[in-house]
Structure 1
């Protein structure tokens, strides 16, 4: 017996189209290719040198010798294949595209909204553009990256995506926040 599977986003049916986009906006990305790269023992510096962003993907620190790679250009299969070719024996590449969800919180109050549930200093001098860290957002583990002065990307495990969106809505109660799927 053959089964026909369809890819369904973890948040399909839980967030709907919005009538107007507000100054603070949470965009849920549908087609981000995500991979984890783990440096081979003793090869961290070599792997890090190869992972310098070139416009096709973005490498974010996830831990010693570990990076989270995001790409809007590549499909999941091509991202992993490209990284495997580039990294060779310096690192191991694991596709996480179907297991994680990427979101972008942007707006003039983005840092204040996140400060309601994240226990790290988000001041631009301490957490500048390009910085990433694994943090707890309330009770959920997320990879947080500052992508612009008033914009943060959050990557969470697929099964916790709905809880994270609900938490962010609660954290933004004193700020106007719209939530929708990203258009890019």
Structure 2
């Protein structure tokens, strides 16, 4: 018996279209390629040197010798293959695109909203643009990265995406927040 499968985003059917973005906005990305890179033993410096962002992808710290690599340019299959070729024996690459969801929280109150559920100092001096860390957001593990003065990316496991969006809505209840799929 043959089965026909269709790719469905984890948040399809839970987020409705909005008329306009509010002061603070949570964008849910549909097509971000995500790969996990783990440096081979003793090869962390070499792998880090190869993972310098070049416009095709962005490497984010996930742990010692471990990075999440995101790309809006590559398809999931091509990102993992490209990274495997570039890194060679310096690191191991695993495609995580279908297991992770990428969200962007932006707006003048973005740091205040996140401060309601994250125990990390998000002041620009302590958490500058380009910094990333694995944190707990309420009770969920996310990779948080500052991508601009007033924007943060959150990468969460697919099965927890709906709970994270719900938590962020609660954290933003005293702020003007809209939620929609990203247009980029």
Shorter-normalised TM-score: what interval? over 0.9
TM superposition outliers: structure 1 runs of 4+ over 3 Å: none
Give 3-state SS (helix, strand or coil) of 2:87's partner: helix
Deviation at 1:20, TM superposition (A): 1.6
Aligned residue in 1 for 2:83: 83
TM-score by length of structure 1 reads 1.00
* Distance of 2:60 and 2:51 partners within structure 1: 9
CA distance in 2, matches of 1:20, 1:146: 24
**2:60 matched residue in structure 1:** 60
Using the alignment, how far apart are the partners of 1:19 and 1:46 within structure 2? 47
Confirm or deny that 1:37 pairs with 2:37. Answer: yes
* Structure 1: unaligned runs, 5 residues or longer: none
Q: For structure 2, list consecutive stretches of 5 or more residues without a partner in the other structure.
A: none
The Cα of 1:71 is off from its aligned counterpart by 0.2
- Whole-Å separation in 2 of the counterparts to 1:114 and 1:169: 10
Alignment TM-score, normalising by the size of structure 2: 1.00
The secondary structure found in structure 2 opposite 1:41 is: coil
Q: Which residue of 2 aligns with 1:163?
A: 163
Give the secondary-structure state (helix, strand or coil) at the position aligned to 1:134: strand
Q: Counterpart in 1 of 2:144? A: 144
Q: In angstroms, what is the RMSD of aligned CA positions?
A: 0.3
SS in 2 for 1:42: coil
Give the length in aligned residue pairs.
Answer: 184
- 2:103 is aligned to 103
1:121 aligned residue: 121
Q: Within the alignment, does 1:94 sit opposite 2:94 as a pair?
A: yes
Find the aligned partners of 1:2 and 1:53 in 2 and give their Cα distance.
42
Question: What corresponds to 2:2 in structure 1?
Answer: 2
Aligned positions of 1:130-141 closer than 5 A: 130-141=130-141
Q: Give the structure 1 partner of residue 73 of structure 2.
A: 73
The DSSP-based 3-state class of the residue aligned with 1:61 is strand
